[in-house]
């Protein structure tokens, strides 16, 4: 890696403009690597069009009903959260285009990423409507409410915070899509979400490798950004209608919860970056590294308490269902 000529002397803080310039070469390398491994795919191939038929309203077809699809309740809840999250792409594009710019390698990445992300909402909506997996009226109303709110990044004050956030967020999205597919009850849905999850993984790798380069050129600031982002992490869909309630169902359903967040999202990125082993930090970097370590220990303990509560709730639910089934059997 070449060090940009405007590198600040000693331990002076890097500005966003200096960092963007210093990382441009890494962006170009990572962009080329990404373009070399990202395979073209066709959203229409993942949609079971033969199941499609007219809806009520203008076409005078059949109204939606919950029993028209095999998709599970938790699958429906999570598919809607994931699709509304993907739907807000115009806001995300605005945020990263403003932060990273629309020129040079950064700009090429911003536009490539946006085009790839565009496929996700296309294929998910086509699947959900064709397979009648969710209520189309409720979905459209939720989309209007959510997109009309817009999305503003928690991290748009700092480019290192922005890059660190998206590294974790892309992996969180990958895991969320993949687990939604596993719990959806429909192999067609599972295959479609697995394809999206592959894209999200490549996006994570791109951003993670940028964070790695940032740790080399501006270790203290990068460590601060990683610690802040991990400690304050929240999913981009947090503002959507009914998010809290949906998040509880998604957590109990084993799609995304504290244990998964800690084990499958935070730890793989942090381990890859060897964040807890980075040496040569100044007092600010050391402080951030220490805060991160304390936070992760606390999160692990919290995740264990969640696991225990989840097991108790699921056991109670299973017992109630068994009792109800026995009662139904006795009266049959």
Query: What is the C-alpha separation between 233 and 323, in angstroms, rounded?
Result: 40
Give the nearer residue to Fe ion in terms of CB position, either 198 or 310: 198
Q: What x-and-dash track marks residues 198-227 binding Fe ion by CB under 5 A?
A: --x--x------------------------
Give the nearer residue to Fe ion in terms of CB position, either 172 or 299: 172
Q: What x-and-dash track marks residues 14-53 binding Fe ion by CB under 5 A?
A: ----------------------------------------
Assigned token pair, 233: 């992490």
Minimum CB–partner distance for residue 175 and Fe ion (Å): 12
Assigned token pair, 302: 């919290």
Q: What x-and-dash track marks residues 266-305 binding Fe ion by CB under 5 A?
A: ----------------------------------------
Query: What is the C-alpha separation between 78 and 246, in angstroms, rounded?
Result: 7
Query: What is the C-alpha separation between 320 and 309, in angstroms, rounded?
Result: 17
Minimum CB–partner distance for residue 200 and Fe ion (Å): 4
Question: Residue 98 to residues 13, 15, 93, 101: CA-CA distances in angstroms?
Answer: 21, 15, 8, 6
Minimum CB–partner distance for residue 158 and Fe ion (Å): 21
Q: Which residue has the tokens 């429906």?
A: 76
Minimum CB–partner distance for residue 59 and Fe ion (Å): 30
Query: What is the C-alpha separation between 194 and 166, in angstroms, rounded?
Result: 20
54: CB partners within 8 A, 6+ apart: 60, 61, 62
184: CB partners within 8 A, 6+ apart: 71, 72, 75, 79, 190, 193
Q: What x-and-dash track marks residues 112-151 binding Fe ion by CB under 5 A?
A: -----x--x-------------------------------
Instruction: Tell me if 154 sits within 8 A of 234, measured CB to CB.
Output: yes
Minimum CB–partner distance for residue 170 and Fe ion (Å): 5
Give the nearer residue to Fe ion in terms of CB position, either 14 or 168: 168
Q: Write out the binding residues for Fe ion, residues 151-170 only, by CB under 5 A.
A: 170
Minimum CB–partner distance for residue 204 and Fe ion (Å): 8
Give the nearer residue to Fe ion in terms of CB position, either 34 or 259: 34
* Residue 195 binds to Fe ion (criterion: CB under 5 A): no
Give the nearer residue to Fe ion in terms of CB position, either 202 or 303: 202
Closest CA to 117 of 229, 268, 236: 236
Give the nearer residue to Fe ion in terms of CB position, either 87 or 170: 170
* Cα 31-33-38 angle, rounded to 5 deg: 90
Give the nearer residue to Fe ion in terms of CB position, either 30 or 117: 117
Assigned token pair, 90: 């115009």
Interacting residues with Fe ion (CB under 5 A): 117, 120, 170, 200, 203
């Amino acid at each position: 890696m070449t060090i940009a000529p405007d590198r600040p002397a000693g331990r002076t803080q890097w500005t966003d403009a200096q960092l963007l310039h210093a990382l441009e070469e890494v962006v170009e390398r990572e962009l080329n690597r990404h373009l070399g491994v990202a395979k073209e795919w066709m959203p229409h191939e993942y949609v079971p069009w033969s199941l499609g038929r007219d809806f009520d309203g203008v076409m005078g077809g059949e109204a939606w009903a919950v029993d028209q699809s095999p998709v599970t309740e938790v699958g429906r809840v999570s598919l809607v959260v994931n699709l509304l999250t993907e739907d807000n792409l115009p806001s995300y594009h605005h945020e990263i285009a403003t932060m990273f710019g629309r020129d040079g390698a950064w700009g090429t990445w911003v536009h490539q990423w946006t085009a790839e992300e565009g496929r996700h909402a296309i294929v998910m909506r086509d699947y959900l409507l064709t397979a009648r997996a969710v209520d189309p009226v409720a979905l459209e109303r939720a989309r209007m409410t959510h997109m009309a709110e817009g999305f503003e990044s928690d991290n748009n004050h700092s480019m290192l915070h922005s890059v660190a956030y998206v590294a974790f967020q892309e992996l969180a999205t990958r895991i969320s899509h993949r687990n939604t597919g596993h719990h959806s009850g429909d192999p067609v849905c599972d295959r479609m979400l697995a394809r999206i999850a592959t894209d999200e993984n490549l996006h994570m790798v791109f951003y993670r490798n940028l964070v790695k380069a940032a740790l080399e050129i501006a270790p203290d600031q990068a460590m601060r950004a990683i610690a802040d982002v991990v400690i304050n992490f929240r999913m981009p869909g947090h503002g959507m209608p009914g998010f809290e309630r949906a998040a509880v169902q998604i957590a109990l359903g084993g799609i995304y919860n504290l244990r998964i967040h800690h084990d499958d999202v935070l730890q793989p990125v942090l381990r890859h970056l060897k964040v807890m082993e980075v040496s040569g930090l100044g007092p600010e970097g050391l402080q951030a590294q220490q805060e991160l370590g304390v936070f992760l220990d606390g999160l692990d303990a919290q995740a264990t308490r969640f696991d225990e509560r989840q097991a108790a709730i699921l056991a109670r639910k299973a017992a109630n269902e068994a009792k109800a089934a026995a009662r139904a059997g006795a009266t049959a």
